[in-house]
Amino acid sequence: MSEELFTNLAIFVLSLLVGFEVMSKIPATLQTPMMSGANAIHGVVVVGAFVIAAEANSWVFYCLAFFGAFFAAVNVAGGYTVTDRMLGMFDRKPAAKKEDDQK
């Protein structure tokens, strides 16, 4: 086993543990936004799309790089936008209530 692989494996296992730990019981209303937020985070695959585009050197690889970039960009840009929109709904309700109280 190379040193590089061992490092990556250690990072992988520890990150899994962090993922298990960081999710405690969350309210049911936040489950869908959380799913969407996590979905946006794995949009980090866009970094991988850059890496493969830099190595492409024939039409097969250019095609693959194009689809990689397109798919990943949809995931990351759409994911964050829709999560923010969903969470924005939570923001508005208490704020509107506060204004009513002030009146």
Partner 1 sequence: MSALQTISSLIYLVSAVCYVLGVHMMRSPKTARHGNGLSAVGMFLAVITIIVTIIIEGKIDAIGWIVLLLGLALGILYGVVKARKVPMTDVPQLVSLFNAVGGGAAAVIGIFDYLLKGDGASLSIAFSLPVLLDVIIGGITFSGSLIATGKLSGHVSGKPITVPGARILNIIVVIAILASAWFMIGYPTNIWYVILALAMSLVFGLLMTLPIGGADMPVVVSLLNAFTGLAVAFAGFVINNQVLIIAGALVGAAGTILTLQMADAMNRSVANILAGGFGTGDSDT
Among 27, 95, 99, 103, binds partner 1 (CB under 8 A): 27
Site for partner 1 in 56-95 (CB under 8 A): 56-57, 60-91
First to last CA, the chain: 68
Shortest Å, Cβ 92 to partner 1:
11
Our CB check for partner 1 shows the closer of 58 and 102 to be 58
Shortest Cβ 100–partner 1 spacing (Å): 19
Min. distance of Cβ 103 from partner 1 in angstroms? 23
CA distance 71 to 75: 6
The nearest distance, CB 101 to partner 1, in angstroms, is 18
Q: What backbone torsions phi and psi does residue 86 show, to the nearest 5 degrees?
A: -60, -45
The angle at the Cα of 67, spanning 66 to 69, to the nearest 5 degrees, equals 65
96 binds partner 1 (CB under 8 A): no
How far apart, in whole angstroms, are the C-alpha atoms of residue 17 and residue 8?
Answer: 14
